[in-house]
Amino acid sequence: MTETHTILPPKRRLLPTGLICAALRPVLARVVQRVARRHPEMFARIAPYQTADFLIVPVELPFALHLRPDPEAPLLRAVPRDRLPVPDARIEGPFLLLLELVDGESDGDAAFFSRDLIISGNTEAVVSLRNALDDVDGSIAQETADLFGPPGRAILGMLRRRSGRQ
């Protein structure tokens, strides 16, 4: 029996991925700086992995997020898929699921065992990151939306509606 594979043309994008990543750079830097300032306990909780490189890959987006939770120099940046750094840990899944995980509204274990979430590399680092996020009072997603005022809150509300929750 011979397998056949359909080769699909690449999706056309309005903007090149490199330009999207460059535009996100200051936004993501502002977000990670604020989280570091408002939640030092989160960084203390992840202490053994503060210099670890996490790659967060939303499967439907043309870029990934590179996170290094170092409280002295926190890093969160968008990286084109063709220029991904070698991470200590990789977390991959649908964007809305990843948002729910950051928001504390989804069960990471269930997502992992249902294969909606793929974890590779240093799983202890990922568990430490998850535990640090779970310990935050409130919602980092909501705090981030609030940082950008009414437009940020509207976008988060739209994303939450798309994921089926308010």
| Side chain identity, residue 5 | H
Output the pTM of the full model.
Answer: 0.83
| Neighbouring C-alpha atoms within 13 Å toward the C-beta of 143 | 19
CA distance 36 to 70: 9
| pLDDT for position 139 | 85
Token code pair at residue 6: 């359909």
Q: What's the mean per-residue pLDDT of the chain?
A: 85
Residue 51 class from Cβ within 10 Å (0-12 exposed, 13-18 middle, 19+ buried)? exposed
Token code pair at residue 118: 């793929």
| pLDDT for position 162 | 84
- What pLDDT, in 10s, does the model give residues 95-127? 988 888 887 666 666 666 678 889 999 999 999
CB–CB of 108/70 below 8 Å? no
What domains are defined for the chain? 17-136 (3.30.1050.10)
CB–CB of 122/128 below 8 Å? no
- What pLDDT, in 10s, does the model give residues 31-70? 999 999 999 998 888 989 999 999 999 999 999 999 999 9
